[in-house]
Chain A
């Protein structure tokens, strides 16, 4: 689904240049659940933003669904994005002025889904994340866990092939965090590819593969099952 070769990205201020990504090579296959880990500032969010086409790399190749997208313009990227990718953020990023249902409906609106169909899909997805009873509320009226469930609902409402989650549990307590992860697991079992940034190793364990980053580079890639097996051997 995703192939990245030699990606670099640097941020420049007037006198300092910070390398956020340095020669990243990464492949994500359809149906995978990948966790990206690393210390803060190691470039995980930048990588996720580029993956989601919210940002573009300075150099390198980025193939999404076998298309080279690195050179695409803003509106073409928006097009690819809205049909294929759902986003979940640490800070939920819900629009305060809209109700829960309206927030979830946003992606469908921009895909020009007919009204009746929109209503139906929003209702279904809200039920699926267990928040249907709060459909008419505003985000500020919900708890953090509830808000993130709304964000998840919004991310999946247009049935994307890929979900990008940037520390989706970062602002949540343990039990709410677990619930959200369970939701993601469920989606993955149903066939959605998931890439999640986290620095909680416990949460990373829900993934099938963990990508560790340091200073803008991919340090290692572990298959979660193997890792656990080796840990088990060490324990013995």
Chain B
């Protein structure tokens, strides 16, 4: 019996090449999309699951209420105090990311982006695998470092690195005490070299590890089995009040994040790296499934459309005694066989494209059939998809009554409505995907071309090293750079546009009492006096800094109040309750110590508009611009003249080598930094574009098949109409108008759906492209779908319409 089913199925597939090709190609594309997205999803959800006790490890995070800071890292005293206060804390560890320091050995000098400083227990905490050395003592001394195999190979090649020394920032020698295995790629933490936290007081001052303001230490805590993290979180407020401030409740709170949730769900200020997004995972999964669904719909539509061809077979089988269930089994078997062939083709597609896909996503995705689990999943996929696609046709075909079909009176019209509905579904999906692609692109262009309030063009950005005196380095560098004819200006700032700014302080307006509750937390940026001119920022009120306002002495016990100048953006002025004009001449005070005895009094000398300093994803922060400070970030922006930049860049590099010898030169263009802000959106847009192209292709393929069957079925009608006087135009319109109506209906459905979802998507941007900028996409997507449908149908329709009517009637 099975054998006979298989034979019939095979003959049907081979005997109807158009039908089979459309289904196999469509299903193969749908399956290939699903397989590749499934690999992506599996990789994304695998992040950090591989660590020992991953389900019991949490990251401590800190939020500040005053200036909307949501930090991924916390202050260094928190870890030891938590260990001391809470019995349920089994273990806790801190990691400080340095963001890049120079390490050297003889001629090898490298800027190590992935050098971190950590508590000695970090290796046991995450159970990192040691190749050499002792985890217990590896970071005992301040000068000990542990390297990954990959990092060690950069300096020592095949030599034994244990006991060897390296030089850190030309400041200190450090000794390699252990080698660990490279960290896997699927972790949110990225480090290759670990220094000892014991070095922190030596490098950053004796108070650093006691500082509650240095929220730079990623802190991980392990809780007992079955312990509810909310029970620990409930104790954090008292903890902060006890150790930090009585006003903790109104200014800051701590919380816990599951380690395994960080990669897909955390989007805090100061993450290790840009995390993935659970929304991306959901969106891509949904879109891949839609492509597969469209392919399944093709199968349903084409099978029922040509049901008259199978009706006789069904009638005869029933007459000779087949049960309906046997016929259902037979038809299901056929769709599973077809899906299996499509799966083989899909595997070829995946095999050919996986490397490109993996490079594109920058994820090490690997495709292998060696794993029996993978094969089981693919086989299960074939059965599920085959059963799904075959279900409706099987039920429909097996229902035919033998007496009727053998008389030849099956018109196949019962399924027409459903078929039309499915075509509408396919096109609505394709249209919605096209609109989604367009909106993502429109938003990206909007972000790229938005008036940010400053001129970011032709700016080369670099970081000045920390170890020297800021002014001794910056002033000669500025002078030498500006001597070049193609360099218009060079200015210092603590942050450059396109960066998140997590720096901030508490300020008190003039006349208010200096007590904690009067503090307003506001972000600040340190800039040189020419910075506003450099970035072409207009003033709403007042003026820019003057050169003589740039060097402000530290307040001391003898001279506790120091005078300085400040420039606010409009939001900052508003936070103090001032209009831009009112703000000029007002004094804002910033205390420098907890006792509030040393204070800088800043007179507001200017107010600038709210410029889009960071990405358009974020709200513009109230910001105070202040004079340069050596304890903040050190960036230099170099404005280049229009034209060829090579000479100016070469000049920058030679000035750098002269003034910062031994420090690897680093620079980037500000425009690139801004483009990078929208990289995930760009990738999303490209993925959407590819998927919607697949969706529309598969849908059009189905429409082609359907149109050819419909035209064939209507040959007689076409003949009659022509005999009655219909022209070629009339017939082409007759055949296309039905599908045209369906595509138009698909638009009516797709538009509101796409509008709703894309509006949702846009909520992630604080500054979004207005509807008027992307309204045209709805029409364009509709027309594109219509054009695709027409091109598919008109060819067949005109062939049918130009045939001599007598041929059509002889068809009877």
Contact = CB atoms under 8 A, between A and B. Distances in A.
A95 B717 contact: yes
A82 B725 contact: yes
A87 B808 CA distance: 15
Chain B interface mostly helix, strand, loop or mixed? helix
A107 to B, nearest CB: 5
B806 A107 contact: no
Contacts of B728: 74-75
Given A49-B806, A140-B409, A93 B720 contact: yes
Contacts of B726: 78, 106, 110
Contacts of A24: none
B724 A54 contact: no
B317 interface: no
B717 A97 contact: yes
B804 interface: yes
B809 A78 contact: no
A55 B806 contact: yes
B324 interface: no
A54 B806 contact: yes
A110 B411 CA distance: 26
A107 B724 contact: yes
- Which of the four size classes fits the interface of chain A? 20 to 34
A103 to B, nearest CB: 9
B724 A154 contact: yes
Interface string A26-44: 0000000000000000000
A107 B805 contact: no
A62 interface: no
Q: Which of B802, B804, B805 has the most chain A CB atoms closer than 10 A to its own CB?
A: B805
B723 A54 contact: yes
B554 interface: no
Contacts of B805: 54
A81 interface: yes
Contacts of A107: 724-725
Interface string B773-812: 0000000000000000000000000000010111001001
Interface in A10-67: 49, 52, 54-55
B725 A93 contact: no
A93 B716 contact: yes
A95 to B, nearest CB: 5
Q: Which of B409, B720, B722, B726 has the most chain A CB atoms closer than 10 A to its own CB?
A: B720
A89 B720 CA distance: 10
A54 B720 CA distance: 11
A91 interface: yes
Contact of B812 (A79, A91, A110): A91
A95 B804 contact: no
Contacts of B722: 78
A70 B728 CA distance: 20
B478 interface: no
Given A54-B805, A54-B806, A110 B720 contact: no
Nearest to A166: B809
Interface string B712-741: 000011011111111110100000000000
A94 interface: yes
Contacts of B716: 93
A78 B804 CA distance: 11
Interface string B296-324: 00000000000000000000000000000
Contact of A81 (B723, B730, B802, B809): B723
A93 B804 contact: no
A96 interface: yes
A17 B730 CA distance: 34
Given A55-B804, A91-B812, A96 B411 contact: yes
Given A93-B720, A94-B720, A110-B730, 6 more contacts: A54-B804, A54-B806, A55-B804, A78-B727, A82-B724, A96-B717
Interface of A: 49, 52, 54-55, 74-75, 78-79, 81-83, 87, 89, 91, 93-97, 106-107, 110-111, 140, 154
24 contacts: A54-B723, A54-B804, A54-B805, A54-B806, A55-B806, A78-B725, A78-B726, A83-B725, A87-B723, A89-B809, A93-B716, A93-B719, A93-B723, A93-B809, A93-B812, A95-B717, A97-B413, A97-B717, A106-B721, A110-B721, A110-B730, A111-B725, A140-B409, A140-B411
Q: Which 7 A-B pairs have the closest CB atoms?
A: A82-B725, A110-B725, A54-B806, A106-B724, A55-B806, A107-B724, A95-B717
